[in-house]
Structure 1
Amino acid sequence: MKGKILRNLMKFFLAGILLMALIVYAVSAEAKPPIRHYYIIDLTGPYGILVPEIFEGTQDYYRYINEKGGLDGHQFEISWGETGNMMSRTWSHYKRYKQAGAQFLALFSSPDGEALKKTMERDGIACYNIGQSDPQIYPPGNIFLDGCSYADGFGAFLKWVKKDWEKKGKAGTPKVGIIGPDAAYGRAATEPGIRFGKEIGVDVVGQEFAPVVPIDLTAQILRLRDKGVDWIWLQGLSQIGTVFIKNFNALGLRGKIGIAAFWWTMGTEMLRRVPPEMLEGYIFSTYTYMEVDDRPGIKKLSKLRMKYRGKKLVEGYIRGFHFAEIVMGATRLAYKAKGYDGLTGENYIKYGFERLKDYRGEFDLGAPVTVKLNDRRTSNAIRLYQVKGAKVVGLSDWIEVPHLYPPEMAKYFGK
């Protein structure tokens, strides 16, 4: 009888220890507050054809990190506000962000970044933007760009044009014209491109403006043709690209004038919109690898998207995932230096982004990230891809981009 009582007491004692351990664990887990990031995005409106796949990649990266335990036990909570590309909504969501207790702000729009730039600097808020127009980062402030700026990406293409021209032994000066909307991203490449073209011997003849969602671009194409351009650069999204390609082919210009585009007029997206024979030879730039690249990170991400979404990997998803991976790199560094309570705008800049050195992330989806003094770009290189035989193939290795800051900004970069 005595032995039975002792055994029961031992059972109660062990059960008590186990219960206390569970309580301590639960309290400990509860004591780790979430890290909150807020996204202002435009899932609808004219850019609704592009943003949803990108944001899926971003959301899935956070899901992946949370499934691995978050950051030092802190889970990530993502709040977001949808603007429909309406500036009034952008300002409304910015006010909501400030009230939400989030530690970091992310944007998906160049116009939003340009509009909020001074206000965020006044409010001490750090921001990362996948819209890469140049005025956001000059003078250097609180906004960092995913990749390089639109002007710098165009400059890298001009370098390639010059090299290709000389390689083929052509005489004279290559001429490049631009078609894009009268918007922050649409006009971003023109003035810096003209300036840089003069330095390296490429004549950027100017820009023909187009509506964000055009009906016909024949007149714009003919005006550039009459200026004797060798290349037309598309600084607009696939709505412009689709109409342009159809008009361009109807005019019989394919094979006579080269076509290239910035990274938001993606070749894979265009192949879904127009017959592949119309796109033969089409070139576009990117600051990340593509789904066609034979790389471990791309293969791993392809499996992850199929697991999470039941879909094949596409470029927009890669960009969104890469975007979040850079944000996480800065978050880890700021957290390591200042802890959870130190995840402020100032510390995100000083101890997060500005300490990114040769950062690749677990998936290694782009050029290594090194942020230099006063530089708000997170990439100094782009790659070119081309449509051949109805497929996207690599055209170049990484091309270093020029830093095409406005001349009056030279003082920030030791020039």
Structure 2
Amino acid sequence: MKYNHKLRRTAISSVIATVVLGSISTSAMAEVKFGALYPLSGGLALLGEESYRGLELAVDQINENGGVQGETVVLETGDAVDNNQAIGEARRLISQEDVKAIFGTYSSSRSIAASQVAEMSKVPYFELGAVADDVTERGLSYVFRTNPTAYHMAETIIDMLVNSIASELEVDPAELRIGIIHEDSNYGSSVAKHQRTFAEQEGLNIVMEEHYPASIVDMSSIILSLKNEEVDVVLQTSYQDDSVLFLRQANERDYQPKAIIGGGGGYSMTPTAEAVGHDVIDGVFDVDFTQYNVNPDFAPGIEDFQAAYEEKYEEAPRSGHSLINYAGALELLRAIDAGNGFSADEIKKAVLAMDVPDGETAAGMGIKIGENNQNERASMMGMQWQDGELVTVYPEEASVADIRTHQ
């Protein structure tokens, strides 16, 4: 696979040189446009921007190595601040900007809304970060997802609880009283559904489940219910604001379960830890995309990614959302580069030919598009906040620290 299309100068006559230089200039000006659709303002802007940065770094790398099929990749950006705007921006990117495909979108509900527009217009839509089942379970032909899903998140949460956390607590998993709380969009509902299924398969005791809007401003009643039900382990699927709210109010009300296991970016972001205090979040678990304190042998290239991120944005990565978007976008762009043309079907053919083995991306996962146009090699990691850092503790081959408990 070739990624470097540099032209070598030769000693030729001035007339031929002029023609060649003119060709180089024309080639250098050739561009192909792709859409980048993320929530860049509003309540989801922090993780939306973090996700966009990963795509941007992948495009930078591709362009430094000759672009895609010899053309420079240009990102046309849309702000998916809510579902209606996601739809409107998808239409604009397709009809006015003539993008060949759209990358996005982090938020499951926005992804579901916008990708329907792309499907109707026969424009490929690449989801790099949204986890809800419906993103790829609607039978759409031009919607592809590289990142792990709600299924993977729930599976890893229950596996880590049963196989690692319970043993550290020195308790039979079946004796634990489990409470599931989640924000009520496609995202939280999808994860909770799979948590119930996996928990039942393992014979776990779910004593409470409650959902709430992500915009909730008071979780005291939920915390009271958790205390009244004597919940030992809380499973929360959330965004950032509701993660912060729950941790703050649980601490204020002296609610100290044996374990809190968060699902998603709210629990994996440095700003969340800073907002609630490292003394409060210390010991809390999180299951999410690959984060940065991970065995580098498991995620080759992660150190180079961090260096490129810090050079471009003058700060450390704030979440693994940038990493998962980078890893997926980079391989998709490489696949398109190895293809032939930019029509929807030519891009689809190139993407379906992807075959990246496990352990060959900076996120550790492989990429092969399978049933429902979902990456069948996607996976999630188990992390824990320890001494001010989010460190990988599960699975063992990716871990850099042992699980800690306060029991």
Q: TM-score range by the shorter chain?
A: 0.7 to 0.9
**Structure 1 SS opposite 2:37:** strand
CA shift for structure 1 position 293: 5.2
* Contact 2:188–2:237 (CA under 8 A) maintained in structure 1: yes
Structure-2 change in CA distance of 1:123 and 1:27 (3 Å): closer
In the alignment, structure 1 residue 134 sits paired with structure 2 residue 133: yes
* Contact 1:305–1:313 (CA under 8 A) maintained in structure 2: yes
CA shift for structure 1 position 315: 2.1
Q: Which string of whole-angstrom CA distances, capped at 9 and with x for unpartnered residues, describes residues 114-170 of structure 1?
A: 224544434333212222111122144233334211233112211221223357342
In the alignment, structure 1 residue 315 sits paired with structure 2 residue 339: no
Match of 1:381 in 2: 379
TM-score between the two structures when normalised by the length of structure 1: 0.82
**Structure 2 SS opposite 1:132:** coil
Structure-2 change in CA distance of 1:379 and 1:213 (3 Å): farther
For 2:329 and 2:310, locate their aligned partners in 1 and report how far apart those are by CA, in whole Å: 23
- Residue of structure 2 aligned with 1:209, choices 203, 208, 211: 211
1:147-296 equivalences in 2 (<5 Å)? 147-164=147-164, 165=166, 168-170=170-172, 172-254=174-256, 256-265=257-266, 266-291=268-293, 294=296
For 1:292 and 1:152, locate their aligned partners in 2 and report how far apart those are by CA, in whole Å: 18
Query: Which is further off, 153-162 or 287-296?
Result: 287-296
**Structure 1 SS opposite 2:159:** helix
For 1:383 and 1:169, locate their aligned partners in 2 and report how far apart those are by CA, in whole Å: 23
* Contact 2:36–2:78 (CA under 8 A) maintained in structure 1: yes
Amino acid at match of 2:162: K
CA shift for structure 1 position 289: 3.5
Structure-2 change in CA distance of 1:301 and 1:117 (3 Å): closer
Amino acid at match of 1:197: A
* Contact 1:57–1:320 (CA under 8 A) maintained in structure 2: yes
Match of 2:394 in 1: 396
**Structure 1 SS opposite 2:316:** coil
In the alignment, structure 1 residue 70 sits paired with structure 2 residue 70: no
**Structure 1 SS opposite 2:218:** coil
Structure-2 change in CA distance of 1:140 and 1:75 (3 Å): same
For 2:26 and 2:34, locate their aligned partners in 1 and report how far apart those are by CA, in whole Å: 24
- Residue of structure 1 aligned with 2:98, choices 97, 101, 107: 101
Match of 1:355 in 2: 354
CA shift for structure 1 position 206: 4.9
The structure that has the greater radius of gyration is 1
Structure-2 change in CA distance of 1:67 and 1:214 (3 Å): same
Q: Which string of whole-angstrom CA distances, capped at 9 and with x for unpartnered residues, describes residues 282-323 of structure 1?
A: 11112224156556623212221232222223325xx33542
For 1:359 and 1:384, locate their aligned partners in 2 and report how far apart those are by CA, in whole Å: 17
TM-score between the two structures when normalised by the length of structure 2: 0.83
Structure-2 change in CA distance of 1:161 and 1:55 (3 Å): same
Query: Which is further off, 61-70 or 116-125?
Result: 116-125
Query: Which is further off, 286-295 or 364-373?
Result: 286-295
Structure-2 change in CA distance of 1:41 and 1:171 (3 Å): closer
Q: Which string of whole-angstrom CA distances, capped at 9 and with x for unpartnered residues, describes residues 324-344 of structure 1?
A: 44233233334434x12xx23
* Contact 2:240–2:265 (CA under 8 A) maintained in structure 1: yes
The 4+ residue runs of structure 1 with deviation greater than 6 A are none
Structure-2 change in CA distance of 1:244 and 1:297 (3 Å): same
Q: Which string of whole-angstrom CA distances, capped at 9 and with x for unpartnered residues, describes residues 368-396 of structure 1?
A: 22333335135432111111222222211
For 2:159 and 2:294, locate their aligned partners in 1 and report how far apart those are by CA, in whole Å: 24
* Contact 1:105–1:125 (CA under 8 A) maintained in structure 2: yes
- Structure 1 residues not aligned, in runs of 5+: 1-12, 401-415
Q: Which string of whole-angstrom CA distances, capped at 9 and with x for unpartnered residues, describes residues 14-33 of structure 1?
A: 43343233223334445xx3
**Structure 2 SS opposite 1:39:** strand
CA shift for structure 1 position 70: 1.2
CA shift for structure 1 position 181: 2.0
Structure-2 change in CA distance of 1:394 and 1:333 (3 Å): closer
Q: Which string of whole-angstrom CA distances, capped at 9 and with x for unpartnered residues, describes residues 238-269 of structure 1?
A: 21111111111122222x33111112121533
Structure-2 change in CA distance of 1:206 and 1:184 (3 Å): farther
For 2:111 and 2:263, locate their aligned partners in 1 and report how far apart those are by CA, in whole Å: 19
Query: Which is further off, 348-357 or 45-54?
Result: 348-357
* Contact 1:180–1:208 (CA under 8 A) maintained in structure 2: yes
For 2:327 and 2:391, locate their aligned partners in 1 and report how far apart those are by CA, in whole Å: 25
For 2:202 and 2:312, locate their aligned partners in 1 and report how far apart those are by CA, in whole Å: 46
Amino acid at match of 1:158: I
